[in-house]
Amino acid sequence: MSAPRRARTLRWIVGAADGATVADVLARMKVDAAEVTRGNVFVGRRRVVAATEPVRIGDEVRATPDRGEARPPPRVLFERRGVVAALKPAGVPTIPDAQRGESFVADVARALGRPPSALHPTSRLDRAVSGVVFFALDDAARAALSAAREEGRYHRRYVALARGALASPRGTWDAPIGRARDPRHRAARGVDAAPAQTHYVQIANMQDALMLAVAPVTGRTHQIRVHASDAGAPLLGDATYGGPARVVSPRGAAVTVPRIALHCAWVHVDGTPWAAEAEIPGDLDELWASLGGDRAMWKVATACPVP
């Protein structure tokens, strides 16, 4: 199924005759109020969660409605005891950003018949990253997942493809992570750096790529991407942190990297029924095979102890 086509972003500055609510303004804009439930409407930089929200004169309302064929419904891995796990594809952000209203949380909410405001992601995968995402549906689940993190019972396994050379085939990256010059990005030992820790194991080393198994301990923004780059092995497809957009196969052919080569393969929470796994996506599997990699190594990467 093809990706959805996006309409251009519509903007409206609220005037005295435009009404008192977001719904009133959307009617003036000729935008369906259902776009709110899809996460496609903002007032300023704030995503709207209910069409009944009030607006003030001078507010900017933005809507980026879907048009044409919609994305296929997300794969929900489980829903139990206040937690939902779902498989996020690459190419869609976990939560809406200010540029485009599309989001994985809105997709999952639509699949469950709930408003996006009812789902609270316990971790956020970057737009170009795929894998398991957990959502809490109520305060009890949010508290339980937060406690599991604090107690070291919340475990995640990522698999990644990188290029470079590591000082050791296994170990821990612990450079603190702070803000980069560009506020959208992060840097090892950057401004206002906070402690960060990522365990890793090198699973295989091909001519132009490494396969890594990665287990983040903390959850800083872009943590794995920043740590891998700082260690001399930026992820394939991660141009922001020095990763290549093209690599060379053993036969000398140039291979285009389709996106950031990072996937959250599983999330397990000790002492709870919350455990979910996601198979390796086809684009990363094909990329690895095109570089001469053994597909059996994915299983090793998802199952081996880290560190």
Among all residues, which ones are annotated catalytic?
Answer: 126
8-state DSSP, 237: T
In this structure, what is the dihedral angle of CA atoms 100, 106, 110, 114, given to the nearest 10 degrees? -140
One-letter amino acid at 193 equals: A
CA of residue 94 relative to chain centroid, distance: 5
Cα–Cα distance, 67 to 81 (Å, whole number): 35
Cα–Cα distance, 178 to 186 (Å, whole number): 6
Cα–Cα distance, 228 to 92 (Å, whole number): 23
Contact call for residues 278 and 156 (beta carbons, < 8 A): no
Q: Is 277 helix (H, G, I), strand (E, B) or coil?
A: strand
Positive or negative: CA dihedral 300, 236, 165, 227: negative
CB within 8 Å of 224: residues ≥ 6 apart = 158, 160, 198, 214, 216, 235, 262
**Residue among 53, 63, 149, 49 at smallest CA distance from 105:** 49
CB within 8 Å of 279: residues ≥ 6 apart = none
